[in-house]
Structure 1
Amino acid sequence: MEMTQTTPAQASRPQSGARIGRNLTNLVFILPSVLLSLTIIGYPIFEVMRMAVSDVNRFGKIRGFEGLGNFLKVFQDPIFIQSSYQTLIWTVAVVGGTVLIAIPVAIILNEDFHGRSIARTIVLLPWAVSLAMTALVWRFVVNGDFGTLNLALTQLGLPFNNHPWLATAASAFTIEILVGILVSIPFTVTIFLGGLTSIPVTLYEAAAMDGATRWQSLTRITLPMLRPFLQIAIVLNVIYVFNSFPIIWIMTNGGPANGTDILITYVYKQAFAFGKLDVAAAASVLMFLVLLGFSVLYLFMTRQRGAAGQ
C-alpha cells in the first residue's frame, strides 16, 4: 500500500488560506467604518488643504491658485507669531498643571476611605458641565464691576474693589489657564484612576513587608506603573488643549489687544471676522501638521520603548 507524505509547504496552504479568509472577513466588517471616517474626516481635511493653496473670497468661492502665498502671509503676520507663542504657553501650562494636580488627586481618590464615592463625584462633576457654560460662569465671577471674586476678596479686607481682572492680558491669560486646568482635571483623573486600579495590590504588600515607606512605594511602584497612562493623558490633553476654543473666546475674545489669542482663535478671527478664508485655511493646515507631528513622535517613542522592553 503506497503512502503519500505531506510536505510542510502543502500543510501550510490550508492555514494560509484560512488566515486570508479571516483577514478578508475582518476587512469587510471594518470597511463601512473606514469609509465613514474618510468621508467625515478626510473630506474636510482635503477641502481645507485645497483652500490653503487657493485664492478664496470671503464667501468661500475659489478664484484661483495661490500656491504657498497664503502660508507666507501667515508667517509674515506678527499676530500669528504672537498667537503661536501664546499657544505654546497655554498648552504647556494647562497640560502641565493638569497632570501635576490630577496625579495626587487620583491617588487620594484611589484610597479606601469613607465618602470616596461622593468625593469622586464632586471631582468628576465639572466634566459633565458644558465647557462654554463653565467659561461664561467664570467670566461673570472675575468681572471687574460685579464679579463675586472681587466681592469675596474685598470682604476679606484685600484691596480688590472693582479690580479689572480681564482688562490686562497677563491677568486674563493667567485666569484662563487656571480655568483650563480646572476643566481638564476630571478627564485626566479618570485616566489615572484606571491606571491605579490596574496595579496589583500584591506589589504594595510585598513592598510593605520589605520595609518600604509610602514615599518609596509611590516613587518605585505607583509612578513607574502609571507611566503608560501618563503618556496617554499628556497626548490627549495636548490635542484637546491645543484646539480648545470656548474658554478664551468666551472670556476675552482673544483680547485685550490679541494678548490672549491662541492659534484656534486666530484662525476663527481670520475666517469669520476678517473674511480671509484662505489665510485661515493655511493656519489650520499648520496647526494640523503640528498636532500630526506630535502624535507621530509620541507613537515613535512608544514603539521604541516597547521594543527596548522586549
Structure 2
Amino acid sequence: MTNMWPKLVDWKNLTFGVEIEFAGGQPEQLELLPGWIMSLDERQLDESGLESGSELKPPPLLWAEREQIGIMLNRLQAQGATVNWSCGLHVHVGLKPWGQNIVPPLLNAALQYQDAIQKLLATSPHRLIFCPPVTQEMRDRYETSPEEESVRLFGRPQSHRCGINTAAWFDMGTVEIRYPNASLAYEEILATVELCLRFVAAIGEDRSLSSTPKELAMQLGAPLGGYPPPLPPPRWFHERTWLENSLIPVLSAMAGDLVQDGEIHHILPVPDGLLLAIEDRDGHLSKFIIQPPATEWKVLRHIIE
C-alpha cells in the first residue's frame, strides 16, 4: 500500500486501539485475549485517593473485530471493575494508509475541529489537563522540523499529549484522540471509536468539515450522542489540584535540579512534608519527600521503589 495523502480509505478498514482506564477489579488476575495488554504501572485513583485499577489495551483491531472489546469489558465487570472521575478513554487510529504525510493535515484539522470534537465528547473539565489543544505554534514548528519534538508540549508530563495527539505517529504509527471520558459500556466505547475512525478517514480524504459539534457528527455519519458522560471528581480532588497548581511554579526549579529535564508529575501531602514526583524525558518517575522552607526547601530523602 502506497503511503500518500489525500487518499480515500473506508473507515472500517482502519486499525484502531482503545486505552481503557478503570478503577477496582483485579487487573493482575484478568484473563486476557491474545495480544491484549494490561499496563499494571498505569494506575488510577479510587474514591479515597488510593491507587487502584489499571489500563487495558488491545492489539490493533479492525471494526469487524470489535467484539473483542465486549468480551474484555465483560471480564472486567465480572471482577468488579468500574470507572470514575480519575479514569479516561483514549482511542488510537492507525495512519498506515497515509504515513507521515497525514501529520500536517491532522495538525491543521486539530486547529479547526478540536473544540468541536471535545464538545461532542463532553470531556470532563478536570481532565482537560490531559488533552490540551494543538496550537498554531506547534503547527509552525512542525513545518520547520517535522519530528516528534515539534508536536510535544512541555511543562507538565500530564499535558505533553494533545487532545488530538499526532506525536503518537512517531512511536506507534497512530493518531491518539484523548478527549473521551471513561467508560466500561460497550455501546459507549463503540460510538467513540466510530467517531474517531470516521474523523481520521475524513481528514485522510481531505474533506472540509463543520466546526459545530452536531454538524460535524452528521457530516461524518457518526453518532450524535451515546458517548461516555463526564464524571465529576470529589471536592477533595479539586482541593488537591488547587494546592498542586499553587505549588508547581514554586517547585519547578527544584524539580529541574533534582532530575535533569524533569517536569513535575504530581505533588501530594504526606505526614512529614510533600511528596514531589518528577518525570524525566523517558517517562521515568522519581519521587522525593520535601519540606516547606523556613528559609529554603529541604529534601529529606529520595524514595527508591
Asked if TM exceeds 0.5, the reply is no
Bigger relative contact order, structure 1 or 2 (CA pairs below 8 A, ≥6 apart): 1
Between structures 1 and 2, the one with greater strand share: 2
| TM-score tier after normalising by the smaller chain length | under 0.3
TM-score (norm 2): 0.22
TM-score (norm 1): 0.22
Rg (Cα) greater in structure = 1
Between structures 1 and 2, the one with greater helix share: 1
